Amino acid sequence: MLRPLFTPLSALLQIQPLNGGETIFYTFPVLVVGSLLVMAMATFLLRTWERVTAAAATIFTATMALWLWRLDPTTTAQALPLTGRVIDLRAPFTHLGFRFELQPGSVAILITILLLATVAFALAFFISQGSSFVPFTLALLAGYSALSLLTVGPLPPPLLTPLALVLLSCVSAFVLQAGRLSEPTGPLRFLIPPVLAFPLFLVAQWYIEQMPLNPQDQGPVESAALLLTIGLLFLLAPVPLHGAMPATMESAPPIVSTLVTLLYQLALLHLLFRLVDLYPFMTTDSPFELWLTWAGLITTVWAGLAAAGAIHPGRLWGYAALHDWGLILMLLAIPSPTTWPLALFLFALRAASMLTAAAGLAVLEQHIQGFGVANLRGAGNRLPWNSAAFLLGGLGLTGFPLSAGFTGHWAALQIIAAGDWRPAALVLLASVGAIWGFVRLTRILFGPLQNRLLLREQMPAVAVALVMLLVSVALAISPQLLDGPVRSAWIAFGG
């Protein structure tokens, strides 16, 4: 009676001998996903000790990222450090019709999400982000890791991604709530785009299956291309489906919202590349490039105008991030061999800017009781370093000179202007609007102090702000520091 209950566990271990007599105890997908889930359960039991769990998660994800960095994917088996166990890097894990295995580009994606999580956990060690942040984030990492390792399913893996994003967005909602019950609508809005996209992908798969039956009929090709294009646009969440980003960044803890947003959008970029690579008729039999250009342009312009009128720091930051995301969408619509590497470069700068801003805003949030104008007025005089981190990180998302994002924005505008100068001019004007929002906030933060009881920032918070500022300034001065990581990411995407 109990044997069927243990069948999945025996399938997980997949013990088999090597030629040399060694025994393989784990497959790669089981080790990566399983260890993250085990760590998530352990930290959930200890979640009341926030700093302990944050430190443990930082060490764990950093160690795993380092191990993956040093991993040689050309070998069949490799011994695990400190354990003496042997892992089979090539053996797949198959269960319930799903097949997970290591692919050539999976390692770089796994390293990226683990490094993003490492930085977020390290920041959470100094700045509390809620007791549920660490365990649910580790579970979220396990989900994104499994998605990157998925090779076979009931549908082609790219068409299953919206369903996976629905499930991951449900987990993200718990992470983003962080014990705050006042604003549940922001995190739940992440569910809308994948819920809208998945039915379209299902119908598109039916049309794709009809294509070989009558190769001369272009109807199924055009219908599948149109449905995939619309579904992908839903997932990319341009205006008017943009509400999740500014609402979440206004209500959720800053570091949490940054990590969740970056993980979600990295998965979307990988999905976009895989869809265009797997179904090239998307770009030839549908207005994919035109619609993506307009979606990115409208998003960029709207976000810039909205940022010009935003007063709440979180919402201003959210609109700046939306403005930057729209520019990436515009860039990806250009059929050029240089657009994808530049888009990945922009995304790397985006991650640095968002994490810098999140570190500063998290400290401001801890010290200031509400983000009303009266509470913000003069707060920068008591919290100068963290105010500077928030402002510089936010300005990096607008492409402000001497910020981390300036190089990427300037290069993107040059490529866009080479085809038509008018969209580039509109993007530049929208950037000015977003910059004006931060200039106005700067005047408020460093104006006359309103709250004389406001405490000064502590040395650990100052140290964190200084480190993040140094990273942003270093990327602004020497953007070539990202050449290696961007090249690895481009190889992971298949370039």
The span from the CA of 80 to the CA of 295, in Å, is 47
Task: Please tell me the predicted confidence (pLDDT) of residue 123.
Answer: 95
Which stretches of 237-253 are DSSP H helices?
A: 244-251
Task: Please tell me the predicted confidence (pLDDT) of residue 46.
Answer: 92
The span from the CA of 151 to the CA of 265, in Å, is 20
Q: Are 145 and 32 in contact (CB under 8 A)?
A: yes
The half-sphere exposure of 276 on its side-chain side, counting CA atoms within 13 A, is 20
Q: What is the CA radius of gyration of the chain?
A: 23
Which distant-in-sequence residues (6+ apart) come within 8 Å of 153 by Cβ? 97, 98, 99, 160
Task: Please tell me the predicted confidence (pLDDT) of residue 491.
Answer: 77
Write the burial class of residue 85 (CB in 10 Å: 0-12 exposed, 13-18 middle, 19+ buried). Answer: middle
pLDDT digit string (tens) for the chain, length 495 residues: 334 433 443 344 443 444 444 444 578 888 899 999 999 999 999 988 999 999 999 999 999 999 888 887 677 777 666 666 777 777 888 888 889 988 877 888 999 999 999 999 999 999 888 888 999 999 999 999 999 999 888 888 999 999 999 999 888 888 887 655 556 666 778 888 999 999 999 999 999 999 888 888 888 899 999 999 999 999 998 988 888 888 888 888 899 999 999 999 999 999 999 999 899 999 888 899 999 999 999 999 999 999 998 888 999 999 999 999 999 999 999 988 889 999 999 999 999 999 999 999 999 988 887 787 778 888 888 999 999 999 999 999 999 988 999 999 999 999 999 988 999 999 999 999 999 999 999 999 998 888 777 788 889 989 999 999 999 999 999 888 888 888 877 877 765
Q: Are 208 and 262 in contact (CB under 8 A)?
A: no
The span from the CA of 412 to the CA of 324, in Å, is 11
**How many residues appear in the chain?**
495
Task: Please tell me the predicted confidence (pLDDT) of residue 495.
Answer: 56
Which distant-in-sequence residues (6+ apart) come within 8 Å of 467 by Cβ? none
Task: Please tell me the predicted confidence (pLDDT) of residue 359.
Answer: 94
Q: What are phi and psi of 71, to 5 degrees?
A: -70, 140
Write out the two tokens for 254.
Answer: 């800053």
Q: Are 113 and 144 in contact (CB under 8 A)?
A: yes
Question: Domain spans of the chain?
Answer: 1-154, 298-495
Q: Are 136 and 175 in contact (CB under 8 A)?
A: yes
Q: Are 270 and 493 in contact (CB under 8 A)?
A: yes
Task: Please tell me the predicted confidence (pLDDT) of residue 436.
Answer: 96
The span from the CA of 374 to the CA of 132, in Å, is 31
